Amino acid sequence: METLSTTKAHGGTQYVYRHDSTMTATPMTFSVFVPEHEEGAKLPVLWYLSGLTCTHANVTEKGEYRAACAEHGIIFVAPDTSPRGDGVPDDAEGAYDFGLGAGFYVNATEEPWSANYRMRAYIEDELPAQIATHLPVADLTRQSITGHSMGGHGALTIALRNPDRFRSVSAFAPIVSPMNCPWGEKALTGYIGADREAWRPYDACALIADGSRVPEILVDQGEADSFLETQLKPELLREACAEAGIDLTLRMQPGYDHSYYFISSFMAEHVAWHAERLKR
């Protein structure tokens, strides 16, 4: 693992690392904030999955998580959203919602995507193993996960598929049902193929309908988000959780849009919410 930068912040250290991923067959860059801690201490880990067009850098620069993570003693890990680099295929028209910056946290099965677009395996298996090896300060017995938009979809589906691994899951303006919105239908058709049954492990509402369970979910959603009605549809998650008896706290936030101004406004509350559950 190569250290690209080390920067002191809020008493701790903001790192950016790069490593060669076997899952994506590309170099992958990610950021990690490690709060100030005593030598030999082990700190819990909060994963943050980003949305369309993002790299690790968007939340690292605009997410405003460091003060809260320093206060609560939580490591914050922000991976990239897709493989990148020479030979990695992209959307034919270079669209922002498929290909580079739009991995959708799936293991693609369709050509030509299946060679590199394996973000599910990367996030679920490879990156945690890398962190366990190279960052002994990370206590991987205490993990929580959150994310924004496409990354909110990633956080919800990864938590629902791995309920024993995560103490808690939250999301900012998540795509709650990719099977029922244009972004998701384009991505799942492209990466997984036309058989909609094969999409179900990549849809939080379908996972819940099929029996996956987490005890509770926290979601913040801006009411002035331009993607609210067409792509995000939080009411579908509300219905799925009500049906399943999952304790969903869905906070509709008047006036907020889809941007990092919205995310950063509620970031400290999400970190505190996860901290409470990580310390139980």
Ligand X SMILES: N[C@@H](CCC(=O)N[C@@H](CS)C(=O)NCC(=O)O)C(=O)O
Residue 153 one-letter amino acid? H
Active site residue 258: yes
In the complex with ligand X, the residue whose CB is nearer, 72 or 258, is: 258
Taking the C-alpha atoms of residue 121 and residue 107, their distance in angstroms, rounded to an integer, is: 7
**Which residue is associated with the tokens 């993002």?**
54
Residue nearest to ligand X (CB): 51
Taking the C-alpha atoms of residue 109 and residue 42, their distance in angstroms, rounded to an integer, is: 37
Active site residue 247: no
Give the interface with ligand X as residue ranges (CB under 6 A): 51-54, 58, 96, 148-150, 258-260
| Least CB distance to ligand X at residue 83 (A) | 18
Edge-first strand listing for the sheet containing 166-172 = 2-9, 12-21, 26-34, 75-79, 43-49, 138-147, 166-172, 216-222, 247-253
Which helix or strand (DSSP H or E) is residue 247 part of?
Answer: strand 247-253
Taking the C-alpha atoms of residue 189 and residue 181, their distance in angstroms, rounded to an integer, is: 12
| Least CB distance to ligand X at residue 152 (A) | 9
Active site residue 225: yes
In the complex with ligand X, the residue whose CB is nearer, 109 or 259, is: 259
Taking the C-alpha atoms of residue 65 and residue 33, their distance in angstroms, rounded to an integer, is: 9
| Least CB distance to ligand X at residue 167 (A) | 25
In the complex with ligand X, the residue whose CB is nearer, 12 or 152, is: 152
Catalytic residue among 149, 168, 177, 212: 149
In the complex with ligand X, the residue whose CB is nearer, 35 or 151, is: 151
| Least CB distance to ligand X at residue 260 (A) | 5
Q: Which residues are catalytically annotated?
A: 149, 225, 258
